[in-house]
Chain A
Amino acid sequence: MQPNHSTSTGNASSAESVARQDERLRAIPLWKKALSRPELGALAGTVLVLAFFIVAARGTGMFTPAGIVNFLEVAAQLGIIATAAALLMIGGEFDLSIGSMIGLAGILIAIPVVQYGFPLWSAILVALACAGLVGWLNGYLVNRTGLPSFIVTLGFLFILRGMAIGISRLLTGRTQIGGIHHHIEGDWLAMLFSGEVATGLFSWMATHGWIATNFAGNPVVTGIPISIVWWLGLTAVATWVLLCTPYGNWIYASGGDANAARNSGVPVHRVKISLFMFTAFSATIFACLQVMDTGSADTIRGLLKELEAIIAVVIGGALLTGGYGSAIGAALGALIFGLVQMGIFYTGVNTDWFQVFLGLMLLIAVLFNNFMRKKVMEAK
């Protein structure tokens, strides 16, 4: 600790670094490396749930092509909003207004089309613009006030739901708006949210007897619902963003420690606003798919979806405090959700028990994540 240490420690440090190298050369087992991935718990959970229902629901048709499409569709719908919720949670914030945004977006799409005869694409664009505004406002208020996003978006949970009901009643006198189906045909934007893909492939498989056909010789599953494509696509893009782009690094940094991130030159405010906008957009995409699928909009749609999305994200290994998580994990969380929901239906268990199971899953996932985080931090 004397001034001459800078000259005397030269040799010592090289010897020291050799010693250190030896001490650290201990190989890390592969399983321990895998443990540090956030989605590991969700992967194990998926395998477990899948195995359980393969046994429990055998012979019920859950794992026929039609059954698979069924639970994948449930998973896909949740997965779309869960992906956005995952990015936001990694970025350190919540959005409790997702569910209400779904209801409002449905109304904003349906009313102009059914009541005023606007083309569907223009209504979808307006809904997306409104979603962008809501997301921006959420982010702006959180940044500006420093309030927890829990409170700010809780406010918007009620504001947006109330607006959906209010607007709908005011303009149409109803809270349900139907008759959208025949507007979809030929609308370039609506086509992106309706129908199925790979229909040719499925009829080809049917002609070769690989999948079951109905009495008319058509396959029972005519294609992959477009929602599944959206789900996989968004998960892939979100994973790419998180793992490979500077923006992804900024999301982790903003959630890990916003102050540290800002001091390192990360535009934390912009990152958070864009993430809030993305959750609102994802809610609108969800609403589009639902409106095109059912041909109607309802002010009550999307109820509790924000909480289901958070459950999927947490089961997927994200930390509620931010800075840690993955989009693949959220997709697996949504898959578990779909498997359990449809599995309970197929196995004939009273569906009342679904929520009990969901709550238990959430608790187990949180405990497991907590344990994992400690493991990661001591992974020496």
Chain B
Amino acid sequence: MTAQMPMIEMRNVSKHFGSVVALKDISMKVCSGEVMCLLGDNGAGKSTLIKTLSGVHQPTHGEMLLDGEPVRFKSPAYALDAGIATVFQDLAMIPLMSITRNFFMGREPTVGWGPFKRINWKYADRIAKQEMAKIGIDVRDPGQPVGTLSGGERQCVAIARAVYFGAKVLILDEPTSALGVKQASVVLRYIAKARADGLAVIFITHNVHHAYPVADAFTLLKRGGSLGSFRKEDISREEVLNMMAGGAELESLDAELAEFQRSDNERKTSRVSKPTDGDVDADMPNARLAGGY
């Protein structure tokens, strides 16, 4: 696995917004046919990281390599042309436009030449219908507005579009967060299929049950920095869950809560002018319980 050339690689990438350091020294690599799961709390820099990968932001320091070649994207259009497709949380879908119009937005297939160049609607409708059918969604009419689709279906249109346009790297920003169980499984199945097709997938989620089955590796971000990447075989589901939940944070939270409880009890005991044995006995087990959490 490690001998394989990474499809996309970040080397010491940093991104500053004025005085705010949004990303510092991030290094990460994803090979083709591999799913990298990006974990981190809110504000950890996940969004900035994928926006940098997809050309929305340009890194302040460091470099990115696509298929071994250093790249720098001026805008998302350049990243798309290079084969990096991003499915943003807001999906880049326009509800009032038809499925076909959305599917081919920005890369419409044309026939004819010069001033008579026009969109090949017949071909476009057929492809949109066919690509949706591939992922098990039967579109009755590719001319219907995307706004009439369910959340999962919209997600699938977005992913199908990215895959259809020959993406080498697929970036998914919380694709399952707003979905029901069934819808999420459709999306996850599709991610597995994209991996089987040889894409490098970068996948952000908060749900370990979604992340663990499809991911090959995990990268943990915290406050703009990377806490490291882990192969799936080196880490258990519980450890991933711990990382996602920010296990260390929770432990210190528990400690603080216990501390509150103890000081509470102490105040209570000191307020009671002459504490009887019974009173102390009644309070102590609680404090011990909280501390042992």
User: Are B148 and A245 in contact (CB-based, < 8 A)?
Assistant: no
The reply to whether the CB of B35 lies closer than 8 angstroms to some CB of chain A is: no
The reply to whether the CB of A249 lies closer than 8 angstroms to some CB of chain B is: yes
The CA-CA distance from A353 to B140 in the complex, in Å, is 48
Partner of B119 from the list A21, A244, A324 (CB cut-off 8 Å) is A244
User: Are A246 and B181 in contact (CB-based, < 8 A)?
Assistant: no
The reply to whether the CB of B241 lies closer than 8 angstroms to some CB of chain A is: no
Partner of A249 from the list B93, B96, B105, B184 (CB cut-off 8 Å) is B105
The CA-CA distance from A270 to B172 in the complex, in Å, is 28
Given contacts A260-B92, A261-B105, A266-B105, is CB(A380)–CB(B185) below 8 Å?
no
Chain A hits for B93, CB < 8 A: 257, 260
User: Are B138 and A253 in contact (CB-based, < 8 A)?
Assistant: no
Chain A hits for B186, CB < 8 A: 13
Q: Nearest-CB distance from B3 to chain A (Å)? A: 26
Residues 242-261 (chain B) with a chain A CB within 8 angstroms: none
User: Are B76 and A262 in contact (CB-based, < 8 A)?
Assistant: yes
Interface readout for B124-151 with A: 1 if CB under 8 Å, 0 if not?
0000000000001110110011011000
User: Are A264 and B181 in contact (CB-based, < 8 A)?
Assistant: no
| Given A1-B210, A20-B138, 13 other A-B residues pairs in contact with their CB atoms under 8 A | A13-B136, A21-B138, A25-B140, A249-B101, A257-B90, A259-B90, A263-B56, A263-B76, A324-B96, A376-B96, A377-B95, A377-B96, A378-B148
Partner of B213 from the list A2, A264, A376 (CB cut-off 8 Å) is A2
Given contacts A3-B213, A17-B136, A263-B56, is CB(A380)–CB(B80) below 8 Å?
no
Residues of A participating in the B interface, judged by any CB pair closer than 8 Å: 1-3, 5-6, 9, 13-14, 16-17, 20-21, 24-25, 28, 36, 240, 244-246, 248-250, 252-253, 256-257, 259-267, 319, 323-324, 373, 376-380
The CA-CA distance from A9 to B188 in the complex, in Å, is 11
Chain A hits for B91, CB < 8 A: 260
Given contacts A5-B188, A245-B117, A376-B145, is CB(A265)–CB(B106) below 8 Å?
yes
The CA-CA distance from A17 to B139 in the complex, in Å, is 10
Chain B hits for A249, CB < 8 A: 97, 101, 104-105, 108, 119
Of B77, B92, B188, chain A has the most CB atoms within 10 Å of the CB of: B92
Residues of B participating in the A interface, judged by any CB pair closer than 8 Å: 54, 56, 75-77, 80-81, 86, 88, 90-97, 101, 104-108, 110, 117-119, 121, 136-138, 140-141, 144-145, 147-148, 181, 184-186, 188-189, 192, 209-210, 212-213
Q: Secondary structure at chain A's binding surface: helix, strand, loop or mixed?
A: helix
**Would you list the 9 A-B pairs with minimal beta carbon distance, nearest first?**
A256-B94, A265-B106, A3-B213, A246-B108, A265-B77, A260-B92, A244-B118, A264-B106, A377-B147
Chain B hits for A380, CB < 8 A: 148
The CA-CA distance from A24 to B147 in the complex, in Å, is 16
The CA-CA distance from A285 to B145 in the complex, in Å, is 35
Q: Nearest-CB distance from A372 to chain B (Å)? A: 11
Partner of B97 from the list A28, A323, A379 (CB cut-off 8 Å) is A323
Chain B hits for A324, CB < 8 A: 96
Chain B hits for A28, CB < 8 A: 141
User: Are A377 and B185 in contact (CB-based, < 8 A)?
Assistant: no
The CA-CA distance from A265 to B82 in the complex, in Å, is 12
Q: Nearest-CB distance from A2 to chain B (Å)? A: 7
Q: Nearest-CB distance from B20 to chain A (Å)? A: 20
Of B95, B105, B136, B137, chain A has the most CB atoms within 10 Å of the CB of: B105
User: Are B90 and A264 in contact (CB-based, < 8 A)?
Assistant: no
Chain A hits for B144, CB < 8 A: 379
Chain A hits for B138, CB < 8 A: 17, 20-21, 24
